[in-house]
A = this chain, B = another copy of it.
Amino acid sequence: MHIIAVGGSDAGISAALRALEVDPGAEVTVVVADAYPNFSICGIPYYVSGEVPHWGNLAHRGIADLEAAGMALRLDATARRIDVADRRLLVTGADGGEDVLAWDQLVIGTGAVPARPPIAGLETLGPADGVHVLHSMDDSFAVMRTLEETSPESAVIVGAGYIGLELAEALCARGLAVTQVEQLPEMLPTVDPQLGALVRTELEAHGVTVLSGTAVREINRAEAGSAARLRVDAVTAAGEAVGLDAGLVMVVTGVRPETSLAASAGAALGERGAIWVNQAMRTGLPGVYAAGDCAITHHRLLGETWLPLGTTAHKQGRVAGENAAGGHREFAGSLGTQVVKVFDHAAARTGLRDHEAAAAGSDPVTVACEADDHKAYYPGSHKIAMRFTGDRATGRLLGVQLFGHKHAEIAKRIDIAAAAIYSGLSVDEVSDLDLSYTPPLGSPWDAIQAGAQAWTRRAGRT
């Protein structure tokens, strides 16, 4: 039994590890496009910031650990073609040499690649000019070279999603003057604008210049005599032109699934062009699985969607690996649970926002409220801003969004909500949960329960 995983990031490595756990006798090979298997891509902003002093620290596990777990690694190897009928995989090495590997079960974990928004200049300008994307370790090395070799004093970050926000903080930590440009009306468009506005306040409190509702149209090398290397031209929603000088430009406007290997082998594609899989992570091709950012995401409330997240990649990879090794497991489904730290605060969400729930056929009610993270009489308490979305007819909890201090246990509070939604609880039942309490760390009714009760009152379901 030879299992090959294509891709050395979360999905591929999780598949390999799980396959070896389920069948220690299996032969497992991971084909890795670069020299950095099992790196924490989510940690790159903290390497850029200097908080992680050496890039090597970003490895979830070292190469020796992975090999000790029983897998063979083919580093700097690119998977070129899948022969489904004969169960072969053509790979090329760094020297261009070809090799054909036989497999019994194949897990495709080719991930995603940065989206290239329609900005003039992006095709010609690159890292050597100070214009960067950020997705792979090589991308992060290129950013570090620009930072160290050109000592830019200013940066423009195009995009205010998770990575954009983390980069704003990282570049501020390095002393750059940061301007964050977001095309949509508010920061962190994956949460409601009321919470996005709180993210904006936090950015501005730390010196970031925030331009929302502003679309970048063009990036150019600056004219001679300019203070910085690059010139960014943008336009506001009102049609006003905005010109920005920058020593560094980061374009972080999302990703798209990397599916060419699978598609050329005949795999069906699904939502957003990602590889279609069932909940066992099987593509339609015999013996071929896909997992992670390259594959569609089964969502517990939405069905088939595409929602690339590291947590999901780990879970999908684990399911694919288990099944490739002869197991029978299904991916239980995503709720799109996410958290991001922005300077001293954190924003998080799980489940659906109001418009997403409405689009999915619910009759949602969304209620905003706030509560203390712990009893206000004990020093250091912080308000948590909350938005609860539930279904008017059934009372079922559909989604929660939170914003609060980084020590307000925002991440694990959203996880309580995620656990509740996973189990299909009603908003009202959240009040029935037996949650912990001590004055320095909570309240007799936790903030999450105060939010649930506010929803129940305002939705008229008391």
* Chain A residues close to B by CB (< 8 Å): 10, 21-22, 40, 42-43, 46, 51-52, 57-58, 60, 162, 166, 300, 309-315, 318, 332-341, 346, 348, 350, 375, 377-379, 406-407, 409-416, 418-420, 422-423, 425, 429, 431-442, 444-446, 457, 462
Q: Which of B378, B411, B422, B434 contacts A433 (CB 8 A)?
A: B422
- Give the complex CA separation of A434 and B442 in angstroms: 23
Cross-chain pairs A/B with CB under 8 angstroms, 18 sampled: A21-B462, A40-B439, A43-B378, A46-B377, A51-B378, A52-B378, A335-B434, A336-B434, A338-B436, A339-B437, A339-B438, A339-B442, A409-B411, A415-B436, A416-B416, A418-B434, A419-B419, A423-B423
Beyond the given pairs A409-B411, A418-B435, 16 more chain A to chain B contacts, judged by CB atoms under 8 angstroms and listed by A's residue number, are: A42-B438, A309-B437, A310-B444, A315-B432, A336-B434, A337-B435, A338-B438, A341-B438, A341-B441, A350-B434, A412-B416, A412-B442, A412-B446, A418-B434, A419-B423, A422-B434
Q: Are A58 and B377 closer than 8 Å at their CB atoms?
A: yes
* A187: min CB distance to chain B, Å: 16
**CA gap between A432 and B52 in the complex, in Å:** 30
Question: Which one, B318, B406, B431, B438, contacts A411 given CB within 8 A?
Answer: B438
Collect the chain B residues with CB atoms within 8 Å of residue A407's CB: 407
Known A-B contacts A57-B377, A412-B413, A433-B422; A43 and B439 likewise in contact (beta carbons under 8 Å) = yes
In the complex, residue of chain B having the shortest beta-carbon distance to the beta carbon of A309: B437
A83 to chain B, nearest CB (A): 32
Contact call A411/B434, Cβ cutoff below 8 A: no
Q: Across the interface, name the chain B residue whose C-beta is closest to A51.
A: B379
With A10-B444, A416-B415, A425-B423 already in contact, the answer to whether A437 and B22 are too (CB < 8 A) is no
User: Which residues of B have CB within 8 Å of A437?
Assistant: 42, 309-311, 338-339, 411
Q: What residues on B are CB-neighbors of A423 within 8 Å?
A: 419-420, 422-423, 425
Q: Which residues from B are CB-within-8-Å of A334? A: 434
Please determine whether A462 and B422 come into contact, CB atoms closer than 8 angstroms: no
Which residues of B have CB within 8 Å of A333? 434
Contact status of A434 and B311, CB under 8 A, knowing A42-B439, A423-B419: yes
Report the Cα distance A58→B42, complex, angstroms: 42
Cβ distance A292 to chain B, nearest Cβ, rounded Å:
11
CB pair B445–A314 under 8 Å, yes or no, is yes
Residue of A42, A52, A434, A437 contacting most chain B CB atoms (<10 Å): A434
With a cutoff of 8 Å between Cβ atoms, the chain B residues found around residue A43 in the complex are 375, 377-378, 439
Chain B residues near A439 (CB-CB < 8 A): 40, 42-43, 46
Closest residue of B by beta carbon distance from A42: B439
Residue of B nearest to A411 (CB): B441
Closest 4 CB pairs between A and B? A412-B412, A423-B423, A332-B432, A419-B419
Q: Whole-angstrom distance from the CB of A379 to the nearest CB of chain B?
A: 6
Check B312–A440 contact: CB distance below 8 A. Answer: no
Residues of B within 8 A of A410 (CB): 441
Q: Which residues of B contact A10 (CB under 8 A)?
A: 444
Q: What is the bound-complex CA distance between A379 and B51, given in angstroms?
A: 7
- Contacting pair B375 A440 (CB below 8 A): no
Bound Cα distance from A147 to B315, whole angstroms: 56
Choice from B346, B422, B436 contacting A441 with Cβ under 8 Å: B346
Bound-complex Cα distance A332 to B431 (A): 9
A429 shortest CB reach to chain B, Å: 7
Taking the closest CB of chain B, its distance from the CB of A359, in whole angstroms, is 20
Residues of the B chain whose Cβ atoms lie less than 8 Å from the Cβ of A462: 21-22
Interface residue from B314, B341, B409, B433 paired with A418 (Cβ < 8 Å): B433
Max chain B CB contacts within 10 Å: which of A375, A407, A446? A375
Are A406 and B441 closer than 8 Å at their CB atoms? yes
A338-B436, A418-B433, A434-B334 known; A442+B411 contact, CB < 8 A? yes
- Note all chain B residues with C-beta closer than 8 A to A442: 339, 411-412
Q: Do the beta carbons of B418 and A436 come within 8 Å of each other?
A: yes
State A60–B309 Cα separation when bound (angstroms). 40
**Residue of A411, A429, A446 most packed against chain B (CB within 10 A):** A411
Is there an interface contact between A339 and B441, defined as CB atoms closer than 8 Å? yes
